[in-house]
């Protein structure tokens, strides 16, 4: 998978040769070669977007040799193999926009509901049939079957490369009135733009204490000023992302990228740290591998390197990552100010230290392992004298209802918030095969919970 931004603007000759398979160059200014010679389209770039269920190819930017008049464009002017074209407009860059503007790029938006849109996981078109781990460190991934064991290195994923083939099937008009007739030439994308994902950088942490190496992704605020102090969010993935490309945690769902979105960064500039585990770190025996300790050391190392506010470090994760978040909060009580726990559990016999933590817990009532596990944990927390706010939600609620749900739970003024999804609503809403994996497809799309986390401090 190509994960770094590879823009082709300014490389017209190279782009044409690579995409069209010949030595043609962009038509010279004032020339009038027919479009059938394939000299007006310079190249094409795939554009992706990450959803709760994973990264999808959602648009193609077709680059021309001259600025295109956006008012003349229609959806019938382009076809993309095995995809549904939903919107076509001109733009000055290889980016989707609410409103386009005349420029060298024609943005061909595609339906995210197309089967061929998904780029992540076993359901992606073109994914190999090799087995992948259950998406949890817990047995059966919360669904009752056998799950992976700690130390298992079976690769998860896969990540399918973003690639599309586009054809101009109608007339395109330049801003100077020149008409480029349909020519039937199929152009395959030769570059990829991954909004937000491309804003993360990839590194490897070599832990001198454990002797282990841990790949990780790091988002640094775009206006980073070392004279200021910034919060940090640690996101830890589930077992389905074990031992894949370093960017795996960024493309398998919203758990990491949501915090780095322009909207969230506008409200709370923050660092986002997303490790890529080369093995299953924890299973139902609750005895983690040494990468558990390495994760804590990584957080401290990043804190030392950058201007991180030690009073505003947060942890979140789904399934295996939720289990790690609970375990780290118990083992290192001063490491995080608060945690967002999505579909995870931990032995209630060890849960007493969580009574001193600020937590938002989200789980489905038909998650057969995480739900009873979280019930046991919250019972321990309440027995210790800490108030636990509770709520039951419909996983199919819209944005306005979720915002109201979050506000209502916050009004209980509890340091620990425990929200559960009604039985059947997660699978009905997401189409996931079980409530466990479906929960995190929704969990990180609720802005109010993210906002709550960012308000917490030590």
> What's the average model confidence in pLDDT over 284-303?
96
Strands 165-168 and 186-188, sheet pairing: antiparallel
Note the pLDDT tens digit of each residue in 17-65: 333 232 222 333 333 444 334 579 999 999 999 999 999 999 999 999 9
For 12-125+160-193, which CATH class?
mainly beta
Task: Report which of 246, 252, 166, 174 is spatially closest to residue 214, judged by C-alpha positions.
Answer: 246
| Domain 197-455 belongs in CATH node 3.40.50.1820 | yes
Strand 308-318, strand 338-342: pairing: parallel
Distance CA 382, CA 352 (A): 10
What percent of the chain has a predicted confidence (pLDDT) above 90? 84
| Closest CA relative to residue 217, chosen from 195, 233, 238 | 233
Q: Using the predicted structure, report yes or no on whether residue 387 has a pLDDT greater than 90.
A: yes
Average pLDDT of the chain to the nearest whole number:
89
Structure confidence at residue 127 (pLDDT): 75
Could you give the percent of the chain with pLDDT greater than 70? 88
Asked whether the CA dihedral 395, 398, 404, 406 is positive or negative, the reply is positive
Burial (0-12, 13-18, 19+ Cβ within 10 Å), 7? middle
pLDDT at 57: 98
Q: Using the predicted structure, report yes or no on whether residue 13 has a pLDDT greater than 50.
A: no
Phi, psi of 342 (to 5 degrees): -115, 110
* Res 134: pLDDT: 53
The Cβ of residue 404 has, within 10 Å, a number of other Cβ atoms equal to 12
Can you give the residue ranges of every domain in the chain? 12-125+160-193, 197-455
**DSSP secondary structure string, 29-65?**
TT----GGGS-SEEEEEEEEEEETTEEEEEEEEEEEE
Q: What is the pLDDT at residue 148? A: 86
Task: Report residue 128's pLDDT band, with 50, 70 and 90 as the boundaries.
Answer: low
CB of 201 closer than 8 Å to CB of 217: yes
Partner residues linked to 49 by β-bridges: 56
Q: Where are the alpha helices (DSSP H) in 236-290?
A: 248-251, 262-267
Q: What is the DSSP letter of 309?
A: E
Cα separation of 352 and 431, whole Å? Answer: 36
Residue 135's pLDDT is 54
Q: Does the structure show a pLDDT above 80 at 142?
A: no
pLDDT score recorded for residue 434 = 96
Task: Write the Ramachandran bin of 289: left for phi over 0, alpha for psi from -120 to 50, otherwise beta.
Answer: beta
The stretch 187-216 carries a mean pLDDT of 98
**Domains 12-125+160-193 and 197-455 agree in fold:** no
Distance (Å) of CA 39 to CA 24, 78, 145, 214: 7, 17, 57, 47
């Amino acid at each position: 998978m190509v994960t770094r931004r590879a823009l082709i603007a300014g490389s017209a000759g190279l782009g044409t040769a690579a995409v069209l398979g010949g030595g043609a160059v962009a038509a010279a200014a004032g020339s009038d070669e027919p479009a059938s010679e394939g000299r007006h389209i310079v190249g094409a770039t795939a554009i992706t977007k990450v959803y709760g269920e994973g990264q999808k190819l959602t648009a193609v930017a077709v680059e021309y040799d001259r600025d295109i008049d956006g008012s003349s464009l229609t959806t019938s002017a382009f076809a993309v193999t095995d995809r549904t074209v939903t919107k076509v407009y001109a733009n000055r860059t290889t980016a989707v926009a609410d409103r386009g503007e005349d420029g060298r790029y024609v943005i061909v938006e595609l339906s995210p509901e197309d089967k061929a849109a998904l780029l992540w996981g076993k359901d992606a078109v073109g994914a190999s049939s090799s087995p992948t781990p259950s998406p949890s460190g817990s047995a059966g991934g919360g669904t009752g079957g056998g799950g992976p064991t700690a130390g298992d290195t079976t690769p998860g994923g896969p990540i399918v490369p973003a690639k599309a083939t586009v054809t101009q099937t109608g007339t395109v008009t330049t801003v100077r009135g020149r008409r480029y007739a349909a020519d039937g030439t199929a152009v395959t994308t030769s570059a990829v733009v991954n909004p937000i994902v491309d804003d993360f950088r990839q590194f490897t942490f070599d832990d001198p204490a454990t002797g282990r190496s841990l790949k990780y992704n790091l988002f640094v605020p775009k206006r980073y000023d070392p004279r200021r102090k910034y919060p940090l969010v640690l996101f830890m993935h589930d077992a389905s992302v074990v031992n894949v490309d370093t960017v795996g945690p960024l493309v398998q769902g919203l758990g990491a990228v949501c915090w780095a979105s322009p909207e969230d960064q506008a409200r709370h500039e923050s660092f986002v740290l997303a490790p890529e585990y080369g093995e299953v770190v924890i299973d139902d025996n609750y005895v983690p591998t040494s990468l558990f300790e390495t994760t804590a050391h990584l957080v401290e190392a990043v804190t030392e390197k950058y201007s991180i506010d030690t009073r505003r470090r947060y942890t979140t994760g789904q399934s295996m990552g939720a289990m790690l978040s609970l375990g780290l909060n118990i083992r290192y009580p001063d490491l995080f100010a608060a945690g967002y726990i999505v579909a995870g559990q931990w032995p209630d016999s060890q849960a007493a230290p969580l009574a001193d933590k600020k937590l938002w817990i989200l789980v489905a009532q038909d998650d057969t392992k995480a739900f009873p596990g979280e019930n046991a944990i919250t019972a321990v927390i309440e027995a210790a004298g800490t108030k636990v706010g509770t709520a039951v939600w419909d996983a199919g609620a819209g944005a306005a209802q979720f915002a109201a749900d979050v506000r209502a739970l916050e009004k209980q003024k509890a340091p620990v918030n425990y929200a559960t999804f009604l039985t059947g609503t997660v699978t009905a809403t997401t189409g996931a095969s079980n409530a466990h994996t479906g929960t995190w497809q929704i969990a990180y799309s609720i802005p109010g919970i993210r906002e709550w986390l960012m308000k917490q401090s030590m």
